Amino acid sequence: MSAIDVRDLLKAAEQSDALTPVPAPLTLDRAEDSRNAGPNPEPAPQTRNSWLSPVVLAGCVRLAEFCGLILLGLGLHQALLRGVVPMAPRYVTAVLAVTVAALGLFQASGSYRIGAFRDLSRTAVKLATGWSVAFLMVAAAMVLGKIADHYSRIWLLSYYMAGLGLLLGGRAVLSAFVRMQTARGRFDRRTAIVGGGPAAEELIRALETGGENGIRIIGVFDDRGDDRSGAAVAGHPKLGNVSDLVTYARHNPLDLVVFTLPISAETRILQMLAKLSVLPVDIRLSAHAAKLRLRPRAYSYLGGVPLLDVFDKPLADWDVILKGAFDRLVGLLLLVGLSPVMLAVAIAVKLTSPGPVLFRQKRYGFNNELIEIFKFRSMYVDRCDAGASQLVTKTDARVTPVGRFIRKTSLDELPQLFNVIRGDLSLVGPRPHAIQAKAANTLYDQVVDGYFARHKVKPGITGWAQINGWRGETDTSEKLQRRVEHDLHYIENWSILFDLKILLTTPLALFKTDNAY
């Protein structure tokens, strides 16, 4: 979740603008501008598994090694001692003890870091040492407990040798996989440095000489002119200003932004953060060269470089997998359960007006990407407005009689369950808005500061704003402002339980149709 509230940040930036003259006004890039060609010094990877992060990979490796060592120990007992020595609880306890001790030692030695997955030779020594020490610890406990004679020495020796082989063999395969994926641009945290000069040079050199930290610096962005900020910093190119960074992040994978500006540059930092707050990336403030010293636990670290947390991705690592699995599982169940209703609506649409049953519309999705969503057609074919340049009103002549009913009850949104299963939408999230949607004849992003911050997560079929009465028409700036406020609250406080609460409340919210036309 965000360490700083987006709305508070924007207010602070506006106040700083009022107190201190700045060379350029604080405005957020429009989506149309973000789709223009921006700095792109290297091609983006062909594919990028957003869910398979180093944290998720490490968790999967832990689980695989835990299950593998448990099954190996029990399997060896069956292969070597079946019919001779029964599978007593003491053997199960010994297998669990050795496995848990070994994994604890692997964790303490750093064997579950992404760098350890790459460097097989160094990690092999740690694995062999940890596995041997775990066996010695359990053997010592057996001797001290005077129960060593109750265990088969053949089984113990076989378990030790086979377990070591399993660990080293598995890590060899893992190392090859990680190296291959790293060459394709995965697993390293692609990092942008904001700010130039000596402070940026010092930070970059500290990161590059600080050992394995899992980052790849893609370039430097600075809002100052070339007379104070050169074309390159510590061998890395300057790619533009902060607005260019927003454009870059719309077209290229970006995981982390690190500011090298001093904390005393409050006005500049607030202006930049207000622009970058719309991006689904981690944002940190470098404390490497700062004179202010806080307690070690106040910092996060890249290698040995201290950073102050400003923004975190709303969803990262296991949260992405958990929400994705929840969406697809519940979405599939809803699709099956509501299929009779969807079939009835489809028949009604088809019989009452000529044209296709489904209506396709481009909308903004995660990180401002354009997605195509499905709806049951609610307007006459020759009057459909794919760009939503004109809001639907209460007595809108473009809407069919059936369309008026399904729009009021939100039945027209049910085909978006296919978007959920396909991965374009979530069940719960900020509602995706049409490209040309307007409030008070003004495009949405020009009405509300920080509007695009609602695109830091996937949009949803329903959301916190909808169940709180802010669904339907947004003909005034106040209605849009309240909807965006609720969307940002959802993003900052996301949890699976919160999603479940919204889903369960949605049917009740559908009875409130004051603004739904």
User: Taking 80 as the threshold, does the pLDDT of residue 517 lie above it?
Assistant: no
User: Taking 50 as the threshold, does the pLDDT of residue 26 lie above it?
Assistant: no
- The secondary element (H helix, E strand) that includes residue 374 is strand 370-376
Query: 303-334 pLDDT, tens per residue?
Result: 778 888 888 888 888 999 999 999 999 999 99
DSSP E strand boundaries for 202-254:
215-221, 232-233, 236-240
Mean pLDDT of 134-142: 93
User: Taking 90 as the threshold, does the pLDDT of residue 387 lie above it?
Assistant: no
Alpha helices (runs of H) in 186-238, residue ranges in sequence order: 197-209
Which letter does DSSP use for residue 352 in this model? Answer: H
**Whole-angstrom Cα distance, residue 99 to residue 89?**
15
Share of the chain above pLDDT 70, in %: 81
Query: 144-171 pLDDT, tens per residue?
Result: 888 888 888 899 999 999 999 999 999 9
| Beta carbons of 212 and 236 less than 8 angstroms apart | no
User: Taking 60 as the threshold, does the pLDDT of residue 190 lie above it?
Assistant: yes
Among 18-22, 95-99, 416-420, the minimum mean pLDDT is found in 18-22
| Beta carbons of 382 and 332 less than 8 angstroms apart | no
**Whole-angstrom Cα distance, residue 432 to residue 413?**
12
Helix-, strand-, coil-residue percentages of the chain, each rounded to 5: 50, 15, 35
User: Taking 90 as the threshold, does the pLDDT of residue 415 lie above it?
Assistant: yes
- The secondary element (H helix, E strand) that includes residue 308 is strand 305-311
Mean pLDDT of 124-153: 91
pLDDT in the model for residue 73: 95
CA dist 421 → 56, 101, 316, 334, 370 (Å): 22, 41, 20, 11, 17
Mean pLDDT of 430-442: 75
More confident residue, 240 or 294: 240
Q: What is the mean pLDDT of the chain?
A: 82
Mean pLDDT of 63-67: 97
| Beta carbons of 175 and 117 less than 8 angstroms apart | yes
Mean pLDDT of 82-105: 90
Q: Which of 96, 82, 39, 410 is nearest to 237 (CA)?
A: 39
Tokens of 199: 């402070």
| Beta carbons of 127 and 167 less than 8 angstroms apart | yes
pLDDT in the model for residue 390: 66
Span 6-51+188-311 CATH architecture: 3-Layer(aba) Sandwich (3.40)
Domain ranges of the chain: 6-51+188-311, 54-183, 318-509
Exposed/middle/buried for 253, CB within 10 Å: 0-12, 13-18, 19+? middle
User: Taking 70 as the threshold, does the pLDDT of residue 406 lie above it?
Assistant: yes
Using alpha carbons only, what angle is made at residue 2 by residues 449 and 503, rounded to the nearest 5 degrees? 85
User: Taking 70 as the threshold, does the pLDDT of residue 103 lie above it?
Assistant: yes
Q: Which of 194, 198, 238, 255 is nearest to 44 (CA)?
A: 255
Name the pTM for this structure. Answer: 0.78
Share of the chain above pLDDT 90, in %: 38
pLDDT in the model for residue 213: 65
